[in-house]
Structure formats: C-alpha cells, structure tokens
Amino acid sequence: MITRREFVATSATAAAGLAIGPSGAAAAPSPTSPVSRFARPCVVASSNGIRGVKVAYDQIVAGTDTLDAIIAGVNITELDPDDQSVGLGGLPNEEGVVQLDASCMHGPTKRAGAVGCIEDIATPSLVAKAVMDYTDHIMLVGDDARRFAISMGFTPQNLLTEKSRQDWLRWKARLNPNDFWLDHDDDVQIRFTTGTINMNAVNATGDISSVTTTSGMAWKVPGRVGDSPIVGAGQYCDNTVGAAGSTGRGESNIMTCGGFLCVEFMRQGLGPEQAVLKALERVVATTQARLMGSNGRPFVDLQFYAVSKDGRYAGGSLYEGPGFAVCDERGARIEPCVYLYRQNERPRRG
Ligand code: GLY
C-alpha cells in the first residue's frame, strides 16, 4: 500500500509532465499473467495521442506498469492548454463550463475506475485511477468527483482557456440570428470536437491496460456524460484477450458497448482489425433513423482502437480519413485506420 500523501506526490509529479511511479494502493504488487509466447510491447491510441504513445511505450519497456505508463501518456495532452479536446483547454459545454470524463482499466488486477462530468481538475484520467486505487467504487460524478479529487490532493484550476472561451462566445453568438448577441469574426471557423484520447497498451509479459479521457462533445448540454467514462464503452480491457476504446460520437458508442464488443470479438478469435470493423458495423446497425442519410450511411463518425494480448493492433473508423497512433519496436507513428465508408459517402445534414 502507498499512503494518500504518496499518491498525491505521485499525481503532482505526473501533472508536471514527468514519469509517474508504480501503480498505487491495491495495485502493488500486481499478479502478472503467464509470459505469452507472442507478447510484444505495443501502445495504440487515437492520433491525438501521438506524443503519449512514445512516452508510454518507453516507460513500459523500462518496466513501468502498463496503466501508469498510458496515463502518463494521456497526461501530456490533458495538460496541454493548446489542445481543445481533453483536460485543460478542452472545449466547454453550452454554458461555457469545461466538464471532463475519463475511465481506466488495469488488466492484471481486474480493476476499473471512472469519473464523469468533473470540473476544475485537468487530469481526470488520474482521478479515475484514484477512484480505482482508493475506493471500492468504480465511478464518481460531478461535484462529488471534484471534491473527491481535491481530497486526494489534486489542485483545482480554471480549465477554460482564453482560446476556448473565445470559441464558446462565437458559437453562442452564431446560434441564433435573432438574439441580442452580435456575431463577430465571421471568417473564423468554430471548432466542434467530440474530443477524446483513448490509449491501450500491452507489455512483454502480456499485461494489458486501457484509458480514455475527454472534454466530451463541444457545447454539450450541461451534465451530459459521454462514452469515455463508461467501462465497456469508452474503453475496456481483459487481460486474457486485449483492450479497446473509442473516440467520436459517444452516444453511438454507448449504444453498442463498443470497447467491450471489440474485446469480445477478439475473444472469439478475430484479429484487432476485424474486431474493430465488426464493432463499427454494429454501430451502424444500432443507429437511429434520424441519424442516417438517405443513402443508409450515418451522419456521425466513430473510431475504435484495439490491441490484442500478443501485441497486434488496429484503428478503425466509420469513415475513411483519421489515422491512429501506435508505438512499438518500430517507433511512434501514425497509421491509417481501416474504415467502412469513403468520405464521399458521408451524408450532409439539412
Ligand atoms: N467520445 C467522447 C464523447 O462523446 O464524449
């Protein structure tokens, strides 16, 4: 067991962008899976995790626990004020408040933690891990998650950067031409993001972990919780099979339990590439008619990322285009996702 004081020191070190120590509390020492004949370390993530996969991979080959390593990987982007998809600088909800979701799973010890709709804490991935390490629960939400984080030593801060605040004001002004807000900067494109980094890793002994962190959909209804903190949707990990997670429209993923489904397809014998494609087919099959174009293709997009226990990996997307980040013995790189549909098949609304 490490003490709470030690955990706080660990979190502070991670928040400074430095390597974090071994997995805390109930994680020490973790039962390790028998050495797989085929195990090869590999970290796979959404493309915005490209810096993180390298950090995570280097830590894993140096012996760091897989979950600690991938959380260190996503912390880089969570703490980057210029990234508007997760953590500090994430795009806010419709009231201008940044609300974050995250979850994680530690395969060797069969544990999970999550936080939903947490405010003021830049690294919800670490708070999710604190829920896992220090409570007998899996998910905490809202103000109580914030208070839990503060009690664990996390420092609250304003997560709405000036750039994201300006984007929110522009979005608000352009919502309705008949309101009393004057539109300005008409030439500035307002970003919309479904945010999110998912990162999954396996080490040389076949131990596996997964983490997903997000600021969620930009301009969401306050209190909205997406797929990222939902264990089995935003990410899922089974130390005997592999791990998978998602980015994109969370509501579509929740309807398919996508992280779990990818892992279940791998359990049935599919490789990661076939698994993510089959899960995407399920997403289409469960999409409501109002979200489908007349050509039978969804308006929305969604991605899955998966790694198997033997170190195979894949990224898959409904629509052609996004790449995914991977790091293994060949180094960190972006590879193209497999996909169901070409971009020119994507219907436009209205
Ligand atoms: N996939 C992130 C979200 O929808 O919140």
How far is Cα 96 from Cα 297, in angstroms, rounded to an integer? Answer: 32
Atom 4 (ligand 1) nearest CA: 250
Which of 46, 85, 99, 214 is the best mutation target for the ligand 1 pocket, counting ligand atoms within 8 Å of the beta carbon and taking the most?
214
Q: How far from the centroid of its chain's Cα atoms is residue 349's Cα?
A: 27
pLDDT digits 0-9 by tens, 64-101: 999 999 999 999 999 999 999 899 999 999 999 999 99
Mapped onto helix, strand or coil, the DSSP state of residue 245 is: strand
How far is Cα 30 from Cα 202, in angstroms, rounded to an integer? Answer: 15
Instruction: Give the 3-state secondary structure of 278-326.
Output: HHHHHHHHCCCHHHECCCCCECCCEEEEEEECCCCEEEEEEECCCEEEE
- The DSSP element (H or E) to which 128 belongs, if any, is helix 124-134
Note whether 83 and 48 are within 8 A (CB). Answer: yes
What residue has token string 């899996």? 138
Note whether 145 and 154 are within 8 A (CB). Answer: no
Find the 317 Cα to ligand 1 centroid distance in Å: 14
pLDDT digits 0-9 by tens, 28-38: 333 444 445 55
The answer, yes or no, to whether residue 145 has pLDDT greater than 90, is yes
Compute the C-alpha angle 290/214/63, nearest 5°. Answer: 135
pLDDT digits 0-9 by tens, 272-330: 999 999 999 999 999 999 999 999 999 999 999 999 999 999 999 999 988 999 999 99
Query: Which residue is catalytic, options 66, 196, 212, 213?
Result: 196
Mapped onto helix, strand or coil, the DSSP state of residue 46 is: strand
Residue 187, pLDDT score: 72
Give the lowest-confidence range in 37-51, 147-161, 203-217. 37-51
Q: What is the mean pLDDT of the chain?
A: 89
**Nearest atom, ligand 1, residue 196 CA:** 2
**Nearest atom, ligand 1, residue 216 CA:** 5
Residue 37, pLDDT score: 53
Residue 4, pLDDT score: 46
Backbone angles phi, psi at 308, to 5 degrees: -100, 165
Q: How confident is the model at residue 122 (pLDDT cuts 50, 70, 90)?
A: very high
- DSSP letter for each residue of 190-233: PP-----EEEEEE-TT--EEEEEEE--STTPPTT---STTSBTT
Strand partners, 155: none
**Nearest atom, ligand 1, residue 220 CA:** 5
Find the 136 Cα to ligand 1 centroid distance in Å: 26
Residue 128, pLDDT score: 98
Pairing of strands 313-319, 338-341: parallel
Q: How confident is the model at residue 1 (pLDDT cuts 50, 70, 90)?
A: very low
Note whether 113 and 138 are within 8 A (CB). Answer: yes
Residue 175, pLDDT score: 87
Domain 46-343 CATH (choose: 3.40.50.1360, 3.40.50.720, 3.60.20.30, 3.30.70.3040): 3.60.20.30
How far is Cα 228 from Cα 215, in angstroms, rounded to an integer? Answer: 9
State whether the beta carbon of 229 lies less than 6 angstroms from ligand 1: no
Is residue 196 part of the annotated active site? The answer reads: yes
Find the 180 Cα to ligand 1 centroid distance in Å: 31
Residue 38, pLDDT score: 56
Q: How confident is the model at residue 178 (pLDDT cuts 50, 70, 90)?
A: confident
**Nearest atom, ligand 1, residue 195 CA:** 2
Domain extents in the chain: 46-343
State whether the beta carbon of 99 lies less than 6 angstroms from ligand 1: no
Share of the chain above pLDDT 90, in %: 80
State whether the beta carbon of 196 lies less than 6 angstroms from ligand 1: yes
Give the lowest-confidence range in 4-18, 57-71, 126-140, 333-347. 4-18
The answer, yes or no, to whether residue 2 has pLDDT greater than 90, is no
Q: What angle in degrees, to the nearest 10, is found between the helix axes of 124-134 and 4-15?
A: 160
Which of 99, 118, 194 is the best mutation target for the ligand 1 pocket, counting ligand atoms within 8 Å of the beta carbon and taking the most?
194
pTM of the model: 0.89
Atom 5 (ligand 1) nearest CA: 216
Residue 349, pLDDT score: 79
